[in-house]
Amino acid sequence: MREPVRRALIVVSGLLALSVVHYGVYSRERLLNDGDTVLLRLAPVDPRSMLQGDYMALNFELARAIREALGERDVADGRAVVGVEPSGIGGFRRLDDGRPLAADERLLRYRLRAGRVRLATNAYFFAEGTAHLYVPARYGEFRVAADGDAILTHLRDEHRVRLGEGAGAPRVECVPPDVGC
């Protein structure tokens, strides 16, 4: 291959890679700014694994309800319909079957991995030495897009008050959603 063509291919490949990364960042920023806020109740997690280093292992009641609704079906990915109370707390209504949503319903994507339902994440990362701030967590605060894409932004206590340092500022989940943590 001639040198000018080779260089052009390298430049085009680099620009394409940067474009993909930029789009990923842009779509997450849009979700943070424009997504609907939904609070999901945390479900118990083995206390020995709940706080591990600089993150908290999470499980959600919604994930258990989805698993029950799936029964024996082994569907890898899907969407659940979540009813959102006026308080912002979301609860399972049904698996998405294409029917139109009611005004108080939102879609939420899930993934089935090794028999367990995963929502946007199963971990919440925080600054070293701040674990004690998150012990009272009872809800995960998500920003949810119309297509069901979601990002965990905060943890909240039983009174739905944001927890942690700078609790008023959005916190972006650090783990890519497809990483098996």
Chain segment 37-58, per-residue pLDDT in tens: 888 898 866 554 555 667 888 8
pLDDT in tens, 154-181: 999 999 999 986 654 444 343 333 333 2
Task: Please give the structure tokens belonging to residue 111.
Answer: 């993934």
Residue 164 Cα distances to 10, 39, 85, 140, 169, angstroms: 44, 16, 24, 13, 10
Q: Is the pTM of the predicted complex or chain greater than 0.75?
A: no
Question: pLDDT tens digits, residue range 25-38?
Answer: 666 677 667 778 88
Better-scored residue on pLDDT, 84 or 179: 84
